[in-house]
Amino acid sequence: MNFCSHCGKPVTLRIPEGDSRARYVCDHCQTIHYQNPNIVAGCLVTSGSKVLLCRRAIEPRLGYWTLPAGFMENGETVEQAARRETVEEACASVQQLYLYSMIDVPHINQVHVFYRGELVGESYAAGVESLEVRLFDEADIPWNELAFMTVRRTLEWFFADRREQLYPVHSQALPPSRPVQ
């Protein structure tokens, strides 16, 4: 950040009085610019024994498979964001959503939250951010073509939990040295 979004004057990176972290501060109007992690919300959508995946039509990871997910918008809950992203990317509606996984990705300042839910009806299609959308059995998941480590980890938990028929909420932090893309 080079300039204050409030007054347009240059900012400096320093620790404001009473704080413990470096922040961008405008020396002209004294506005402190806080930068906080972004929340990515999505759904692990099932239909019978299959899981719905979307092939990405946008960067990052164009052409790779993912769960329908994206950045949470202001004014919505995490669950609303997960439902919206599922409609936008997979043209699908979900029911009976349950919080399923929360994965901290500190090296890119994100938190990924996935809900588990059932596909409503049999209707789904590629949205504008997807090249294609398909239902996969566990044996057919394109593991080497998954876009993000958080998606891989959520799917690994899901298939292990499904064998036990127990679905706890999972939480993990990815180590900084681990590439996520």
**Which domains can be identified in the chain, with CATH numbers?**
1-35 (2.20.70.10), 38-173 (3.90.79.10)
pLDDT in tens, 42-59: 999 999 999 999 999 999
* Distance separating alpha carbons of residues 65 and 108, to the nearest angstrom: 20
Question: Exposed (0-12), middle (13-18) or buried (19+): which is 113, by Cβ within 10 Å?
Answer: buried
* Distance separating alpha carbons of residues 180 and 106, to the nearest angstrom: 11
* Distance separating alpha carbons of residues 24 and 114, to the nearest angstrom: 32
Q: How many other C-beta atoms are found inside a 10 Å radius of the C-beta of residue 177?
A: 6
pLDDT in tens, 50-103: 999 999 999 999 999 999 999 999 999 999 999 999 999 999 999 999 999 999
Q: Is the dihedral of CA 42, 67, 175, 32 positive or negative?
A: negative
Question: Where does the pLDDT of residue 176 fall: very low under 50, low under 70, confident under 90, or very high at 90 and above?
Answer: confident
Please, are residues 97 and 79 in contact by the beta-carbon 8 Å criterion?
yes
Look-up: residue for tokens 């938990």?
Answer: 157
Residue 177 is predicted with a pLDDT of: 58
